[in-house]
Amino acid sequence: MSERLHSSSDQALILVKALPHRSSNYFETVCCAGIGRDQKWRRQYPVPFRVLDPVQKFNRWTWIEYKFTVPTNDKRKESQKVVPESIKILGPMKRSERARFLSPLIRESTQDAQDRGESLTLIRPREIILSWRKKEQSELIDEERKHADLANQLSMLDQPVGPLKPCPYEFHFRWKTQSGTQHRHVCDDWETSTAFFRRRQTLGEMGALSSLKETYEQQYLERGMAFALGTHKRRPKQWLLVGVVRLDSHDTNQSEMF
């Protein structure tokens, strides 16, 4: 109750939903991030996304309103501790408004963002190569067990939810910035894994992987895209790839993958 009494209200355009992770304090949570009306980053955590009310579940490019408190264990200036039950969906941003709104937030590099005191950033890649590693059966069994435990804990709190199905692949990007600096990141973007599952239903496993590779390496790169990266809470110089965003360099009405 005291947390709600001392909370503030905010609005953000959601760009990032990272893969759900286990949290000792909050069970299964998702780290989200977006841009406020003032065109500054917001990091929303913890969001128990899968147990939100259906009318609260938001997608990328959606404006949301919510209450938050300032976290005591996270010094990154963009971080907000969200009050989950306060989340309200306001509606999507028009496709024609996206590039213009986000243009001031594009950075040349993570060093550029770090020099500005930012722990979240958008970078347009010049080249990308998508690869994947098939997880060992023991890894999948362990992940399934942990997610089943989490689902049981949530059910005990009268919030029934099925166990999250782990993706059988870990996705990686090798990419270059516009200036040619090379990077390699594990992809922590939840929507990439979701897209794999959807495509596998109609294309099969290898067909889904090939389709994702073509989408990212050709379609996204040609039409316009940006990587969303954020720093690790305990290792501020380590940048994680938390979102893959279809973002034209000019206004367009072309459709998106998700």
Residue numbers of the domain that contains 56: 2-93
Q: Which of 68-82, 92-106, 150-164 has the lowest mean pLDDT?
A: 150-164
- Joined together, the tokens standing for residue 88 give 């309200």
86: its two tokens: 């306060």
Looking at the 3D structure of the chain, how many domains does it have? 1
In a domain, 157, yes or no: no
Tell me if 86 is assigned to some domain: yes
Based on its alpha-carbon atoms, the radius of gyration of the chain, rounded to whole angstroms, reads 18
Name residue, tokens 């390699």: 184
Per-residue pLDDT of 209-249, as tens digits, reads: 999 999 999 999 999 999 999 999 888 889 999 999 999 87
Q: Give yes or no for a contact between 133 and 170, defined as CB atoms under 8 angstroms apart.
A: yes
The mean predicted confidence, pLDDT, of the chain is: 89
Within a domain: 186: no
Q: Among residues of the chain, what percentage have pLDDT more than 90?
A: 72
Q: How far apart are CA 216 and CA 238, in angstroms?
A: 24
Q: How many CB atoms lie within 10 A of CB 255?
A: 8
The answer to whether position 12 is within a domain reads yes
Domain-embedded: residue 256 = no
CA distance 68 to 168: 34
Cite the beta strand spans of 18-126 per DSSP E.
Answer: 21-23, 27-35, 41-47, 62-69, 79-92, 120-123
Domain CATH for 71: 2.40.50.730
Confidence check: pLDDT of 3 > 60: no
pTM of structure: 0.88
**Dihedral (C-alpha) 114, 119, 122, 124: value to the nearest 10 degrees?**
40
Using left for φ > 0, alpha for ψ between -120 and 50, and beta otherwise, residue 231 falls in beta
Q: Is the model's pLDDT at 37 over the cut of 60?
A: yes
Residue 169 lies in a domain: no
The pLDDT of 153-176, averaged and rounded, is: 79
Is position 171 within any domain? no
Q: Which residue has the tokens 């001031």?
A: 104
Question: Would you place residue 258 in the very low, low, confident or very high pLDDT band (cuts 50, 70, 90)?
Answer: very low
**Residue 256 pLDDT level (bands cut at 50, 70, 90):** very low
Centroid of chain to Cα 93: 17
pLDDT band at 257 (very low <50, low <70, confident <90, very high): very low
C-alpha angle 248-249-251 in degrees, rounded to nearest 5: 65
